[in-house]
Structure formats: structure tokens, C-alpha cells
């Protein structure tokens, strides 16, 4: 069994602090901003029913790319349309919906995915493993909204892990190996790099869906060819191989260990919601999973109702080595 110390470097990775120019901009716009540790930002004084200025939206999107997520506090009683419209501020400015609609969804709005710990109010058991939303799509969602319409009295939050900092936390030999891997989604056949470069932060970030990966392809290394050049060079079939079952299991265990270590190594956070929290996550920068108590019954925890909205990306998360987007 691989131990945690084998998977995570002893060097603590870093999360970028809040940009002081952005902070000044937010304050001029009447917003109070509270950086969370080690990642995330809470925002007070906003009403998402009124669209924020373009400079503020652009600055917040950059902050999400670096610090992972933002939370607009006290956004109580948002209608379905208000939630959807607010979510169009990010990414490509469009909603990208691929889910079913629960009968309790407000107005049966096609763009809202309602989750709950009571099946009368939403879909049960969503997202217990580390993942990124929409990993079955070529253009994986750029951002996701999690609106806590009703927070359970006894807790039911979300765990987040910074995937750029997670890459930095890997030992160098595993960084080199993972950068030569491409995952294939078991549901759609779409392929994604196990390590990608975030389009805004420019940070190398790990990426893997523990519940929906059906195959992993390795590109063999080439002597004296840097990884960035190797990733751009089309590979022939004799330069590729599939990981076997044991190797895939080891990769999944290592990835799970890496993200689990985020809380101890200061690149993860357990976020606890209040009713009316509207959280936006950069889905290319952070992995997440529901906290175990989020799936406990309403009788044990109190009723939990969360509405999710997913945002279209500006680009595909394309595989390296000249591999096709779908396999």
C-alpha cells in the first residue's frame, strides 16, 4: 500500500494572495472582501440580482483562477432566473446544462440541477468522490455555481482542493509521469490531460475524475525532449500504451491521497455553507467533493437544498500528444 509520504512532497505548495489592485477595485465598488485560508474568498455587500461592473467581474474571474472560488454571502431567496442570469457572468457567458431536472426544481428550470438529502426536494448522493463537474464533456464547464437555498442545521458542506497546488505538491518523478498521461472518460470517451495548464493562471494543474475514468494512456518519454515539446508533438501508436488495471488503481489511489492531503498541506478547505450562500468555483482550478455529512438524511442533519448551475467554457480541455478529443 502506498503511503501518503510517497505521494506528496514535503514542500508546502502556495496559493496566490488576493491581488491588492483587485481589492482596491472591490472596495471602491462597495464590496467587502474576506480572503479565506488557504483558498477562497467571501464577498459581502453584493446583490447578484444587479449585475456587477465589467472590471469587477473580470477581476473576480482572475481571483477564482488563482484562489479557486468566491462566495457571495446573503443572497437569500434567489429565483431560478436570477441564479441563472448571475451565472452568465463567467466563462463564455452561457449556461452549459447536461443534467436531468428534478420535479422540485423551481419552475422546472432546465439549467438548474437541484441536489438534496431528501428525495422529495432534490437528487440524492451527488458527488461523493473528488471530481470536476462535466468531465464527460470536451469543453468541461469553466465554472459551477452552488447556491445553498437551504443549509442543513447540522452541516453539509463541500471539500475543495487546489489542483495547481496539488501538482506542486507531487514529488518530481510523479510530476514527470503524470504529465505524460491522458485519461479517457468511461461515459463519453472524451479524453483529457491528467496535467493541464490553466488558461488564466498559467499554472500546471492535475485533473482526474475518480468515478468516471475508464482508461489512461501513457506517452513514453523521449530523451532530451522537454515535456512541453513532447506534449505538442503528435505521438505514433508505438509511443503510447494503456496503463493496466493495477497501474490505474495505483494512480487513482495516489490522486485521492494527494487531494486528501490538501487539508493538512494547506491547499484544501472544508467549506461550510450558510443559507443564501452563492459559491462560484473555477472548475479548471479546483477539484471538489460533497462532505460526507451532506449525504446524511434530513432527519439527522436537517434539510439540505443546493442548486447547481454550470457555465460553458471558452475552450476545450484538449489532450496532449496529438490524441483525438474523443477515443
Q: Which domains, ranges and CATH numbers included, belong to the chain?
A: 12-327 (3.60.130.10)
pLDDT for position 99: 85
CB neighbour list of residue 21: distance below 8 Å, 6 or more residues apart? none
- Helices 20-28 and 54-67: crossing angle in degrees, nearest 10, is 140
Contact by Cβ (8 Å): 289, 158: yes
Question: C-alpha grid cell for residue 294?
Answer: 451532506
Predicted local confidence at residue 259, as pLDDT: 98
5 CB-side CA count, 13 A:
0
Mean pLDDT by runs of 10 across the 327 residues of the chain is 54 88 98 98 98 97 99 98 98 93 95 97 94 94 98 96 98 98 97 98 96 96 94 97 98 98 98 98 98 95 98 97 97
Which grid coordinates belong to 314? Answer: 471558452
CA 223/CA 290 separation, integer angstroms? 42
Helix (H) or strand (E) holding 164: helix 163-169
Look at residue 2 in the predicted model and tell me its pLDDT.
44
Distance between CA atoms of residues 231 and 243, nearest Å: 18
Distance between CA atoms of residues 180 and 36, nearest Å: 34
Cβ pair 273, 74 in contact under 8 A: no
Q: What local confidence, expressed as pLDDT, does residue 107 receive? A: 92
Tell me the three cell numbers of residue 176.
514527470
Q: What is the pLDDT of residue 11?
A: 64
For cell 422540485, what's the residue? 104
For residues 182 and 307, the answer to whether their CB atoms sit within 8 Å is no
Cell matching residue 225 = 525532449
pTM above 0.85, yes or no: yes
Residue 182, H or E segment: strand 181-185
C-alpha 116/C-alpha 95 separation (Å) is 22
Task: Note whether 219 and 240 are within 8 A (CB).
Answer: yes
* Ramachandran bin of 29, using left for φ above 0, alpha for ψ from -120 to 50, beta for the remaining angles: alpha
Strands 41-44 and 286-290: unpaired
The Cα 42–Cα 134 span in angstroms is: 25
- Give 102's DSSP letter: -
Structure confidence at residue 10 (pLDDT): 56
Amino acid at each position: 500500500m502506498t503511503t501518503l509520504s510517497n505521494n506528496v512532497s514535503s514542500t508546502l505548495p502556495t496559493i496566490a494572495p488576493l491581488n491588492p489592485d483587485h481589492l482596491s477595485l472591490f472596495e471602491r465598488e462597495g464590496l467587502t472582501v474576506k480572503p479565506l485560508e488557504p483558498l477562497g474568498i467571501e464577498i459581502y455587500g453584493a446583490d447578484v440580482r444587479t449585475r456587477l461592473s465589467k472590471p469587477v467581474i473580470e477581476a473576480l474571474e482572475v481571483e477564482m483562477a488563482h484562489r479557486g472560488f468566491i462566495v457571495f454571502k446573503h443572497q437569500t431567496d434567489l429565483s431560478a432566473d436570477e441564479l441563472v442570469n448571475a451565472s452568465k457572468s463567467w466563462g463564455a457567458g452561457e449556461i452549459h446544462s447536461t443534467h436531468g431536472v428534478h420535479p422540485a426544481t423551481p419552475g422546472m428550470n432546465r439549467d438548474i440541477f437541484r441536489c438534496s438529502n431528501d428525495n422529495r426536494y432534490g437528487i440524492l448522493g451527488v458527488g461523493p468522490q473528488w471530481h470536476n463537474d462535466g468531465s464527460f464533456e470536451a469543453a468541461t464547464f469553466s465554472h459551477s455555481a452552488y447556491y445553498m437555498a437551504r443549509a442543513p442545521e447540522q452541516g453539509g458542506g463541500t471539500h475543495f482542493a487546489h489542483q495547481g497546488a496539488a501538482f506542486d505538491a507531487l514529488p518530481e518523478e510523479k510530476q514527470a509521469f503524470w504529465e505524460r498521461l491522458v485519461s479517457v472518460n468511461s461515459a463519453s470517451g472524451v479524453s483529457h490531460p491528467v496535467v493541464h495548464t490553466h488558461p488564466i493562471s498559467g499554472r500546471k494543474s492535475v485533473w482526474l475524475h475518480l468515478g468516471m475514468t475508464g482508461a489512461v494512456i501513457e506517452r513514453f518519454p523521449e530523451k532530451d525532449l522537454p515535456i512541453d515539446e513532447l506534449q505538442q508533438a503528435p505521438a505514433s501508436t508505438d509511443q503510447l500504451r494503456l496503463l493496466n488495471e493495477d497501474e490505474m488503481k495505483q494512480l487513482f489511489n495516489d490522486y485521492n491521497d494527494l487531494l486528501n492531503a490538501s487539508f493538512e498541506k494547506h491547499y484544501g478547505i472544508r467549506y461550510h455553507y450558510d443559507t443564501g450562500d452563492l459559491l462560484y468555483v473555477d472548475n479548471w482550478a479546483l477539484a471538489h467533493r460533497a462532505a460526507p455529512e451532506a449525504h446524511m438524511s434530513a432527519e439527522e442533519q436537517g434539510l439540505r437544498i443546493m442548486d447547481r448551475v454550470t457555465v460553458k467554457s471558452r475552450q476545450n480541455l484538449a489532450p496532449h500528444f496529438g490524441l483525438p478529443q474523443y477515443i
